[in-house]
């Protein structure tokens, strides 16, 4: 079972001479933001939910479909650069364009016209932590890659976490 910690991966020879990369410990992964079509390598902070077993959450075990909290900084930085809008604690604020060419200013203005950010995701950006789901199999591939939760899926897991917190 893969745990949360400094990267430790072992190469295992399996049937047919093929190799598996058994991750014993991982602390980072490549996470995709589906609605924006961007992915960034980011730190995994902790595990918060696992449908199969609560023991896996308690021991910070990383398996497929584990819900984890990841660092929002790389995505926040991309968002600010791409749209020219700062995701601050108060909400989205337009950053003043100083020293930018007219073409860049026009491009940012066009991008802002049709942007949409889910309020629940924006709330997570303010906290600096995003909920994500691991879609790879860390014990087989040696990586903990996944995607950021959005929309109905995010709402579902937020309800689960609230219910879990009340107990």
H or E stretch at 80: helix 73-83
H or E stretch at 133: strand 129-134
| Token pair belonging to 129 | 């932590």
For the chain, 167 residues long, give each residue's pLDDT as a single digit of tens.
899 999 999 999 999 999 999 999 999 999 999 988 999 999 999 999 999 999 999 999 999 999 999 999 999 999 888 888 887 766 566 666 667 788 888 888 887 888 888 889 889 988 999 999 999 999 999 999 999 999 999 999 999 998 887 76
Q: Mind listing the domains of the chain with CATH numbers?
A: 2-166 (3.10.290.70)
Pick the closest to residue 64 from 131, 146, 152 (CA basis). 146
């Amino acid at each position: 079972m893969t745990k949360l910690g400094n990267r430790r991966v072992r190469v295992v020879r399996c049937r047919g001479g093929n190799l598996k990369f058994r991750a014993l410990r991982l602390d980072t992964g490549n996470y995709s933001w589906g609605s924006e079509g961007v992915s960034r390598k980011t730190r995994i902070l902790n595990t918060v939910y696992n449908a199969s077993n609560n023991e896996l959450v308690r021991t910070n075990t990383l398996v497929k479909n584990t819900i984890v909290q990841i660092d929002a900084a790389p995505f926040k930085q991309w968002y600010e650069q791409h749209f020219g809008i700062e995701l601050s604690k108060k909400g989205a604020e337009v950053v003043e364009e100083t020293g930018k060419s007219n073409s860049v200013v026009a491009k940012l203005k066009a991008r802002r016209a049709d942007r949409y950010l889910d309020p629940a995701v924006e709330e997570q950006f303010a906290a600096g932590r995003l909920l994500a789901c691991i879609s790879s199999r860390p014990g087989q591939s040696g990586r903990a890659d996944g995607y950021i939760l959005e929309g109905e899926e995010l709402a579902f897991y937020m309800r689960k976490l609230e219910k879990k917190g009340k107990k």
